[in-house]
Structure formats: structure tokens, C-alpha cells
């Protein structure tokens, strides 16, 4: 079942769980996310960064959409860190039900203007929009980048940003970074900032850089009001770790022989995250509510 982000996260907000957004750049990782979601009866978000869309090419999403629409589990296909209107329109054209416009490095007023422009267009066709305020850190190991110093989201700015742009979800900076943290570095999340933003905005909030954070911190953030957690490095790392093991000890070359074990290793990480976000078994809620597929009015 394909939904947009509002449809997906409204249920998550009411039932106090979060949905994992997993970056996908090929059919192996698409299988990891979809199969893990189906095996755990959990909703999931298929996130695609503009550089990942450059790699998969647009036609890949004909396959992804067919697979998702034939599933009993709810999914969103979402552009992660859309950088301009062109990449947003490319995602919409490829059938995505949700986009993120990341104007977080722009001056505040410009971030409002570019985000509002995307909302004005996407809201007409039922595509959800995520904005970002403040900056996510970078560990230097991820395609998503980030900055060296985290600028925490200011709750007063967040209130104004949500009101003036009309976004559906907001990515907040509360101390996480993209990528895998170097040894000895433990991120510290500012829960008081999160609580204040939650109180002031009342829309589903998003945590980027969700890999390698202590489980207890993620759990606490979900309890306060994080409804979407982005995961990329953790599960990709598991896939290629297994892949390296196989390739260094055998002379295999057939993907259909090498990849199944790698897919299982990555699915294990995704399953753990679903447990952490409390989303296992929650697909049932959407079916019970008789949730119609996204844009069913056009079908």
C-alpha cells in the first residue's frame, strides 16, 4: 500500500510510534526494506537521496511502485534532502508520495521562501513535504553531508517556520549527525529542545542521522514526538560487511548466489530498528482503519 507521509505519520503520532526511513539505491536494498516490513508487519519509508536517484535512474521506481502497491503493508516513497525544485519535480514525476526540501543551510527567510514554494506546488497533488530547520551534523562518512558543528533548532523559529511554510513534517536538529560516529564519540541529544519544539508545532517531527545513536536516546525521542527516524549507514554497513566476508573467502560472482545472505544481514538491522521504533505489528492499524491507498481518488 502506498501512502503519503501525512497519512502514514498521523497514525504513528496517535499511537506513539515512529517509522524508519531507510535510504535505498538499488533493488537489493529495496528488497531489504520491503521484506523486513512485511515480515514484521511494520510500516516503512523508502527514502531516496537525489544522488541515489541519479544512480537508480527514474524508471527504477516503476518497479518500486508496483512492488509497494501490491503489499499489504503501508509504505511511503520519499525524496530525502531534495536540494532544489528540479530534484523535487523529478521525484514527483517518478511517482514519489513525499518529498523533503532541505533549505537548512540557507538564511532563515530564504529557507521559508523555498520551502513554501515546494509546499504550494506539492500540496495540490497530495505529495507531503518535509522541511528542515537547524543543521544536522556530519561524521564525514555519509553521502548526505551535514556540518561539523550542529546548530540546534530554535523552538521559536520552528513555530514560525511551520506556520509560514505549511509543511507536513519537520526535521529537527537536536544533536545527531549523518553517518557512523567515530570511535569514542557518543552523540548527546537535547531532549529539552525536542520537547519545546513538539509543544510549539504539533506536527510529526523527524530525526535525521539516526544510525549509531544509543537505543535509549532514540526510544526517549520517539516517546516525546519523533515519528520518523532516518536510517542509512547502519543497515548498508551490515549488507557490505557480509558481502566482504563472502567475497574474501570464495571466488563467487553470481549476485543471486552472493546477495541473499547480505540481504538477510541488512534485514536483521532493519528489524532491530523497527523494534526500537515500536513499529512492529503496526501495519495492522492502517488495515483496520480501512486506510485507502494514496491518491485513490485518481485511480
Residues contributing to the site for Zn ion (CB under 5 A): 144, 208
Give the Å distances, CA to CA, from 43 to 98, 119, 193, 266, 285. Answer: 15, 24, 27, 17, 10
By beta-carbon proximity to Zn ion, the closer residue of 121 and 147 is 147
CA nearest to 279, candidates 288, 270, 289:
270
Instruction: Decide if 120 is catalytic.
Output: no
Residue number, 54 or 245, with CB nearest to Zn ion: 54
43/137 with CB nearer Zn ion: 137
Q: How far is the CB of 295 from Zn ion (least distance, A)?
A: 26
Q: Give the C-alpha separation, 100 to 129, whole Å.
A: 5
Whichever of 208 and 242 has its CB closer to Zn ion, that residue is 208
- What DSSP assignment string belongs to 37-51? HHHTT--EEEEE-HH
Neighbours of 16 (CB within 10 A): 12
* Residue at shortest CB range from Zn ion: 208
**Least separation in angstroms between CB 105 and Zn ion:** 12
β-bridge partners, 129: 99
| Shortest Cβ 216–Zn ion spacing (Å) | 22
Distance of closest approach, residue 297 Cβ to Zn ion, in angstroms:
31
Q: Which residue, among 131, 111, 133, has the nearest Cα to 122 in the 3D structure?
A: 131
Marked catalytic residue, from 26, 58, 80, 120:
80
Q: Which residues does the annotation mark as catalytic?
A: 80
Amino acid at each position: 500500500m502506498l501512502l503519503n507521509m501525512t497519512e502514514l505519520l498521523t497514525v504513528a503520532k496517535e499511537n506513539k510510534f515512529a517509522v524508519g526511513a531507510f535510504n535505498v539505491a538499488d533493488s537489493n536494498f529495496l528488497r531489504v526494506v520491503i521484506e523486513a516490513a512485511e515480515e514484521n508487519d511494520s510500516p516503512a519509508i523508502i527514502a531516496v537521496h537525489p544522488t541515489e536517484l541519479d544512480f537508480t535512474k527514474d524508471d527504477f521506481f516503476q518497479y518500486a511502485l508496483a512492488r509497494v502497491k501490491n503489499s499489504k503493508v503501508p509504505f511511503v516513497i520519499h525524496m530525502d534532502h531534495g536540494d532544489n525544485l528540479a530534484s523535487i519535480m523529478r521525484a514527483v514525476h517518478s511517482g514519489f508520495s513525499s518529498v523533503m526540501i532541505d533549505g537548512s543551510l540557507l538564511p532563515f527567510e530564504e529557507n521559508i521562501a523555498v520551502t513554501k514554494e515546494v509546499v504550494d506546488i506539492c500540496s495540490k497533488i497530495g505529495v507531503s513535504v518535509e522541511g528542515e530547520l537547524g543543521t544536522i551534523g556530519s561524521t564525514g562518512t555519509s553521502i548526505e553531508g551535514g556540518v561539523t558543528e550542529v546548530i540546534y533548532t530554535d523552538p521559536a523559529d520552528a513555530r514560525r517556520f511551520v506556520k509560514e511554510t505549511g509543511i507536513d513534517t519537520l526535521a529537527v536538529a537536536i544533536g545527531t549527525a549523518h553517518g557512523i560516529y567515530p570511535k569514542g564519540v557518543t552523540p548527546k541529544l537535547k531532549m529539552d529542545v525536542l520537547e519545546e519544539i513538539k509543544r510549539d508545532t504539533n506536527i510529526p517531527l523527524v530525526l535525521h542521522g539516526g544510525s549509531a545513536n544509543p537505543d535509549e536516546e532514540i526510544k526517549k525521542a520517539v516517546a516525546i514526538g519523533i515519528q520518523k527516524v532516518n536510517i542509512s549507514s547502519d543497515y548498508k554497513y551490515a549488507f557490505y560487511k557480509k558481502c566482504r566476508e563472502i567475497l574474501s573467502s570464495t571466488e563467487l560472482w553470481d549476485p543471486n548466489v552472493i546477495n541473499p545472505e547480505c540481504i538477510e544481514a541488512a534485514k536483521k538491522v532493519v528489524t532491530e530498528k523497527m523494534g526500537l521504533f515500536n513499529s512492529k505489528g503496526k501495519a495492522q492499524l492502517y488495515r483496520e482503519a480501512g486506510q485507502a491507498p494514496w491518491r485513490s481518488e485518481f485511480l
